[in-house]
Amino acid sequence: MQSKLNGVRSASPSSQTASNGIGLILKMSHNLEILVNNFIPFLSSPLGVFVFVLIYIFWVSFLLPGSWLSMLSGFLYGTWLGSSVVFVGAFIGAHLTFYLGRTFLKEWAQKKVSNFPKIQIMEKAVKSEGLKVILLTRLSPLFPFGLLNFTYGLSEVKVRDFTLGMIGILPGTILYCSLGSLALKISNFGDVLSGRSETSAFVWSLISILSTISVVILILRSTRKINQDSES
């Protein structure tokens, strides 16, 4: 297993964030397999789907990475229903976090975001670029989903742009749910990741790289604009 995981790390052009995500998926898969297996009949029911959405909402709200849970959704419900379940949970959870960051948890969110300089820059860039920045950061794996929700809550971004920007999570959501649907059991999540096709890995890496570069360009452009406005 470890050798396969090492192969993924060396062969994939994804960022260190992606490698850390795979390691987390491996660890959680082994630790939670027995627990989740006991609840699979319930989670597969209509009520179970609703409960899973609630779990995902709280998962996102507590700033936990959603890759493992997305794969679990694909494992339980298949690629398309699983992706829908994840998107609904992520959508509601993101807006909840956004609202809390803008209101009740504003002071806490400011302290949290201050520990991540690159995230602080996003807060300034989104003022001038709005939807473009939000959409591209959703596509890039370098920007943590949960923390971005707080960051955008602290910014002056419009709720409309924040909502439309959620479209950017769809490629990653569908990818992880499709991978989860291929697993025969939860402990195989790591094996499925290591055996994913070179085509899917290349496409996802290309999307990630291009979106990250585009975000950097937008940040530089907005920073230059802010400096020019302050000088004038």
**Cβ atoms of residues 69 and 59 within 8 Å:** yes
Look up the pTM and report it.
0.75
Please tell me the distance from the alpha carbon of residue 36 to that of residue 215, in angstroms, as a whole number: 38
Give me the chain's average pLDDT, please. 78
- The 10 Å Cβ neighbour count of residue 67 is 25
Residue 88 has pLDDT above 50, yes or no: yes
Residues in the chain: 232
User: Which ranges constitute the DSSP H helices of the chain?
Assistant: 2-11, 16-43, 46-61, 67-77, 79-102, 106-113, 117-129, 131-139, 145-154, 159-164, 170-182, 189-194, 198-231
pLDDT at residue 166, rounded to an integer: 95
Contacts of 2 (CB under 8 A, 6+ apart): none
Q: pLDDT, tens digit, for every residue of 24-82?
A: 555 665 666 777 777 888 998 999 999 999 999 999 988 888 888 999 999 999 999 99
Domain assignments of the chain as residue spans, ordered by start? 2-231
